[in-house]
Structure 1
Amino acid sequence: MLFLKKGLKEKNMTTTLIIDHPWKESFNHQLLNTLIAGLEEDQKIYKVIDLYKDGFDPVMKTEELAGYQNGLVLDPLVLHYMNLLRETTQLVIVFPIWWYSSPASLKGFLDKVLLNEFAFFDGGNGIQPLLSIESVVVFTTSDQPTEGLEQHCTRSYKHQLTTTLEDVGLRNISWYHLGSLKQLGEDERQAYLSSAYSKL
């Protein structure tokens, strides 16, 4: 989905937002909507990838795996996502931490979209990045306190995702995590939402 507002100040800048949360009333979706409102107010081009709304299947099928190294695409939605990433200069990712990792849809997105000869090239001498995205902003939430989460998965979700994105050519990665979400009052939630767009 492409949104274009008239009178753009930065015509060559395109922000793609990825949301991985199944519930539209979630805080993650509130955060997404807040970011979209900021982009629209600043008259910037943006696109939204809603993995659940799109019905994205994160499971790598046998026939898909067989063509993986050749960049073979069997899922039209994967091809659509690849085309969006080609035009992206800023990537924003929003998701909750579940069991010390991302939900399955985001992991499947990385597995199925970041294909050889599209996101990277591996000729046997190490991965060579092929994407060129200038900045990445990641927003995550958890019901668990941030400190406890980091103690249990210091090199898990954060390290793995950051390393993957860097390997395919994404730069300037910023990460903002909001823990103890269920314990926060409405004022605290609104304060976080109010400051979110300034982080892009």
Structure 2
Amino acid sequence: MTTTLIIDHPWKGSFNHGVLNHLIEGLEQDQKIYQVIDLNKDGFDPVMTAEELAVYQRGSVLDPLVLHYMSLLRETTQLVLIFPIWWYSSPASLKGFLDKVLLNEFAFFDGGNGIQPLLAIDSVVVFTTSDQSTESLDQHCTRSYKHQLTTTLEDIGLRNISWHHLGSLKNLSEEERQAYLTTVYEKL
């Protein structure tokens, strides 16, 4: 069983990286196999170029980093996504990852009769944060964004999706932040 952790936050000192570090610590203590995709550290370009789009429907890839990510996902039995909610959505790198990596004939097959899932990942755990309160996000976007992301993941064969959001991050004390971090590994 391989856990793949995908983080999309540019600042290593971010709370999101704190979540990542606590998850890694737990995985290492339990001697579990894991791999990390750090979209910002990797320099992943989320923009689909005209050249990439031209080969996209054939399931072809021009970016070697996308091929690497596809290889990692083939080994994955548990996927963990860690990112902040910015402007009611994920950062651009994660959206670009979904667009460029979850290709036809890799993540799904669409022969004109609807999407057939091709990835068999047993569980997905999503950790998100925001400075906005969870209640406010629920009113404005999170339900629709959660639904959109969950539907996308289910369409390609991912199952058992759980979502853990920590809102009002800027208003939390250091003790409250640390208390949350001590619980993240339990959520896997």
Q: TM-score range by the shorter chain?
A: over 0.9
2:87 is aligned with 1:99: yes
CA contact (8 A) 2:88 2:142 kept: no
Residues 100 and 156 in structure 1, CA contact (< 8 A), matched pair in contact too: no
TM-score (norm 2): 0.99
Distance in 1 between the 2:181 and 2:74 partners?
29
Query: Following TM superposition, by how much is the alpha carbon of 1:123 offset from its aligned partner in structure 2, in angstroms?
Result: 0.5
The amino acid across from 1:49 in the alignment is: I
Equivalent residue, structure 1, for 2:98? 110
1:159 aligns with 2:151: no
Residue in structure 2 matching 1:75, options 26, 47, 63: 63
For 2:150 and 2:175, locate their aligned partners in 1 and report how far apart those are by CA, in whole Å.
Answer: 31
Aligned partner (choices 131, 143, 147) of residue 143 of structure 1: 131
* Structure 2 CA distance for partners of 1:190 and 1:156, relative to 1, 3 Å: same
Q: How many residues align?
A: 188
Pairwise CA distance, 1:156: 2.9
Secondary structure of the corresponding residue to residue 82 of structure 2: strand
Residue segments in structure 1 that go unaligned for 5+ positions in a row: 1-12
Matched residues in 2 for 1:23 and 1:154: separation? 23
Report if the CA contact (8 A) 1:32-1:94 is conserved. yes
Q: CA deviation at 1:155?
A: 4.0
- Structure 2: 5+ residue stretches without partners: none
Alignment of 1:36-75 (within 5 A): 36-75=24-63
The separation in 2 between residues aligned to 1:198 and 1:76, in whole angstroms, is 34
C-alpha distance in 2 between matches for 1:100 and 1:154: 7
Mapped partners of 2:165, 2:23: distance in 1: 15
Secondary structure of residue in 2 paired with 1:195: coil
- Matching of residue 31 in structure 1 with residue 37 in structure 2: no
Q: Distance in 2 between matches of 1:37 and 1:196?
A: 11
Measured in 1, the distance between the counterparts of 2:19 and 2:57 equals 36
Mapped pair 1:15 → 2:6: no
Structure 1 Cα separation of the partners of residues 55 and 125 of structure 2: 31
Amino acid in structure 1 at the alignment position of 2:23: L
Question: Does structure 2 retain, via aligned residues, the 8 Å contact 1:101–1:156?
Answer: no
Query: How far did residue 154 of structure 1 move?
Result: 4.7
After TM superposition, give the deviation of residue 63 of structure 1 in Å: 0.8
Runs of 4+ in 1 over 6 A off after TM superposition: none
Residue by residue, what CA displacement relative to the aligned partner does 1:46-96 show, whole Å, maximum 9, x if unpaired?
A: 000000000000000001101111111100000000000000000000000
Match of 1:196 in 2: 184
| Counterpart-to-counterpart distance in 1, 2:60 and 2:50 | 12
What TM-score comes out, normalization by structure 1 length? 0.93
- Inter-partner Cα distance in structure 2 for 1:69 and 1:130: 15
